[in-house]
Amino acid sequence: MLAIAKPMRTVTGLSNPTVKYLRSLREKKHRRREGVFLAEGLRLLTDARESGRVPQMLAMAEGRDHHPLLDALIAAVEAEGGDVIEMSEAALSKISGKDNPQAVCGVFGEFDTSVERLERSASPIFLVAQALRDPGNLGTMLRTADAVGAGGLVLIDDCADPFSVEAVRASMGAIFTVPLAQARWDEFASWLHGGEGQLVAASLRDAVDYRGAPYAAPCFLMVGNESRGLPEEYEMACDLRVTIPMLGRADSLNAAVAGAVLAYEALAALRP
């Protein structure tokens, strides 16, 4: 049975409760309390819709021109009984924290991020990030996971919030297409050892060259914190440690870049 569409309403004034509510979702404590997150931009919201995820609330600039993708998005939200709201560009700017905000944003329910929901058979490779602190790197790893057809991205220990506006924006829609899991190290290790799976660390400790390394599916490729790398005990618990040669003065790659390099190499080695 289809939900009854709610009439579109207009919000005026920067102190309106709806504007304050949407603005509050930029803070993690409010997102956690409400169990929702904010995503901005017609392209990103269209990716969400095409992936089967429709926002609970859609806010857009008043007086904007009609666009077939926006019309489809509005229809999808209304069909699910969600709220469609028009507001001034100034109100959207207050919500986004940017002088030139995206002309549309949506509120989505947070996903189940338990590691148990991952399907080991979904792909020959998975990406794993430990204590990744930069939301841009996190979003980039989601994009990489989408690009290589990874079975998911696992965030270990205290990573940046994947549902922050910055991480969602950096993911370019991959937040809606890539299975995402969050776990402490012990929880992840216990789950991984409960079935098939090779854990591979980007490392300098007794590591082999990442090219031609003996990867095995399903392969879980793990990178560490941007400044500290992986804890030694995590590295030593891995089935394989690989290193990416550095030919210049830099002693390491950006964490997200390292993850992408390893992902494509492992994928090439494991592809039938």
Residue 248 has pLDDT above 90, yes or no: no
Residue 1 has pLDDT above 50, yes or no: no
What is the CATH class of 115-270? alpha beta
Residue 250 has pLDDT above 80, yes or no: no
Q: Tens digit of pLDDT for each residue in 169-189?
A: 999 999 999 999 999 999 999
User: What is the value of pTM for the model shown?
Assistant: 0.89
In CATH terms, 9-109 corresponds, of 3.30.1330.30, 1.10.645.10, 2.60.40.1180, 3.40.50.620, to 3.30.1330.30
Q: Tell me, what's the pLDDT at 85? A: 92
Q: Beta-carbon neighbour count of residue 102 at 10 Å?
A: 19
Residue ranges of the domains in the chain? 9-109, 115-270
* CA separation for the pair 8, 70 (Å, rounded): 14
Q: Tens digit of pLDDT for each residue in 208-243?
A: 999 999 999 999 999 999 888 899 999 999 999 999
149 within 8 A of 124, measured Cβ to Cβ? no
Q: Tell me, what's the pLDDT at 76? A: 95
Rg (CA), the chain: 21
Confidence of residue 78 (pLDDT cuts 50, 70, 90): very high
Q: Tens digit of pLDDT for each residue in 262-272?
A: 999 999 999 87
